[in-house]
Amino acid sequence: MTSVVGLMNPNLINGRNLHKGFSIFVKSEESKKRVQWRFSMQERPLRTPQATASSTTETKATEFNTTAYEDKMLTNYVPVYVMLQLGVITNDNVLENEEKLKKQLKKLKQSQVDGVMVDVWWGIVESKGPKQYQWSAYRNLFEIVQSFGLKLQAIMSFHRCGGNIGDDVNIPIPKWVLQVGDSNPDIFYTNKSGNRNKECLSLSVDNLSLFQGRTAVEMYRDYMKSFRENMEDFISSGVIIDIEVGLGPAGELRYPSYSETQGWVFPGIGEFQCYDKYLRSDYEEEVRRIGHPEWKLPENAGEYNNIPEETEFFEYSNGTYLKEEGQFFLSWYSRKLLLHGDQILDEANKVFLGCKLKLAAKVSGIHWWYKTESHAAELTAGYYNLKNRDGYRAMAKMMRRHHAILNFTCLEMRNTEQPAIAKSGPQELVQQVLSCGWSEGIEVAGENALPRFDRDGYNQIILNARPSGINQDGKPRMFGFTYLRLSDKLLSEPNFSTFKTFLKRMHANQEYCSEPERYNHKLFPLERSRNDESLEKFMEETEPIDPFPWLTETDTSIRPYESVLSRLRSTFLRKKS
């Protein structure tokens, strides 16, 4: 078996890695040369009309050639957004440090970023009481973003900020919702030890009228409806182009199986989160229905920081996950998660129906233990993914149903950067999930999981954004990428120069394009969710598929010292002028 490290060897021709039930395809040397040839063409300096004033004839010819060339390259353009700080709006519902933010946004705009993303926290906007929405701080923020000519991706954040990797502020869900949990703690996700996780509401209460007459889904729907009503001008003017719908912890479609507030430490396998009384009752009813009342929720799956081999459930050769009882449980557990996402996305689709924007949902990049038989960390999160069972196809199909973008994480990660003990496979995982999305005909976007400022991390992102490199059709290509996140460190040198070079590469070496239709991103009114396929049918389609071909390295890489040289050149030209 060829190792992934070996696959990163540029001298390997047509390598295939059969690990985990599918192949990693590596393009041949001949194919790589063609891609490099295409890139070498775009590296030629373009003469713009402003730079050729010697004659009218020459100006017209240059303008024609430049436009045709740019249009061809724009099919490979991947827009880049920057996530704003988690606490840009404070718990008191005030825009934090407005003047500093303006300076930062000005700098981002000058770097040719396409837009920004921001969490719109449920715990801030509806903090005063049910349906008492306060949007003024976010309207102020959106007006500032608009004034700089930036596009905006808004996250409907129905979870708590605090307790996840990278969280530097604490924003709980609304106090009046938490108070319901004081008398009924089963509204929260619960592990087998009975510990409650108050990061978000359990999917078990999606349709229970426990919140002053409303269900959880109704609260989410009303919040999104109020957002649309109060932000209609930003939507109609094309400032807000994307609504990412929060579906769980960290806004992701998953169970909170690995939470630092519960004592989890990487690379622990995490724990199942289905022991509240509502999910327990649902499971007991299901096993009675199929004639196995003796089956119980798992008690042998270990604790947060176990490794798979330490548990009976995830033992690689004879674990419970391989037996009929375990398989039924995992199917039920993952099905509940998919139904949860389907229902909330359906409500979001109805709320934003007719708006010229995209819906999106985020799936977590759980890469640790990916190279083991049981994929334990994915299973505890609700992703029933094994070497002979694709756990992401049903998610992609569900998002296709609602015309939603699949947003995936960990795009910056490489296998060689991960500790050997974790048996991680971020590269194969990214290939699997992105390929699922593209195979189902949906748009795929992505984020970095951890802050990166180095060329290796950026080059990996560029590779995943265009796995086949620059090509005439611009396919496959990610719909967009969001960088986490805006900070003083990002805007300081030499980090910012490297980031600007990264932007240029993501834009296929083109200047910022203010007309998304030119790179096939024209927004159309959101259509109603499809109902021609049942969710039950989606869940049956779990056969693994071969991933799309991936180059071993991007054909538009940031070269060593390139950003430094570019910075020196800019400084020289400024002084000269």
Across 328-443, where does the E strand assignment appear? 358-363, 404-408
**Average pLDDT per 10 consecutive residues for the chain, totaling 577 residues:** 31 30 40 40 32 30 37 93 97 95 98 98 98 98 98 98 77 98 98 98 98 98 98 98 98 97 97 98 98 98 98 96 98 98 98 98 98 98 97 97 97 98 98 98 97 97 98 95 97 96 97 95 97 83 94 95 66 61
Pick from 117, 123, 155, 330: which is nearest to 252 by CA?
155
> Between the CA of residue 380 and those of 115, 274, 321, what are the distances in Å?
34, 10, 11
**Token pair of 319, please?**
């674990």
Half-sphere CA count of 359, side-chain side, radius 13 A: 32
Buried b (16+ CB within 10 A) or exposed e, 175-213: eebeebbeeeebbbbbbbeebbbbbbbbbbbbebebbee
Between CA 464 and CA 446 the distance in angstroms is 9
> What is the rounded distance in angstroms from the CA atom of residue 534 to the CA atom of residue 551?
36
Query: Residue 345 corresponds to which tokens in the numbers above?
Result: 């996305």
Choosing from 126, 244, 440, 447, which is the catalytic residue? 447
Q: Are 341 and 247 a contacting pair, CB within 8 Å?
A: yes
Helix (H, G, I), strand (E, B) or coil at 288: helix
The pLDDT value given to residue 36: 42
User: Can you give the pLDDT at residue 11?
Assistant: 29
Q: Closest Cα to residue 395, out of 430, 429, 352, 363?
A: 363
Of 70, 199, 252, 347, catalytic:
252
State residue 567's pLDDT score: 64
The reported pLDDT for the residue numbered 8 is 32
| 347 included as an active-site residue | no
Q: Residue 51 is encoded by which pair of tokens? A: 């730079």
Whether omega before 494 lies within 30 degrees of 0, making that bond cis, reads yes
What is residue 510's predicted lDDT score, i.e. its pLDDT? 95
Tell the residue number behind the tokens 């998002």, with chain if given: 399
> Which DSSP string do the residues of 102-165 spell out, in sequence order?
HHHHHHHHHTT--EEEEEEEHHHHT-SSTT----HHHHHHHHHHHHTT-EEEEEEE-S-BSSST
Question: Which distant-in-sequence residues (6+ apart) come within 8 Å of 105 by Cβ?
Answer: 116, 144, 145, 148, 150
Residue 556 burial (10 A CB sphere; 0-12, 13-18, 19+): buried
pLDDT at 568: 64
Chain centre distance of CA 15: 28
- Whether the CB-CB separation of 264 and 305 falls below 8 Å is answered with yes
Q: What is the pLDDT of residue 35?
A: 40
517 is catalytic: no
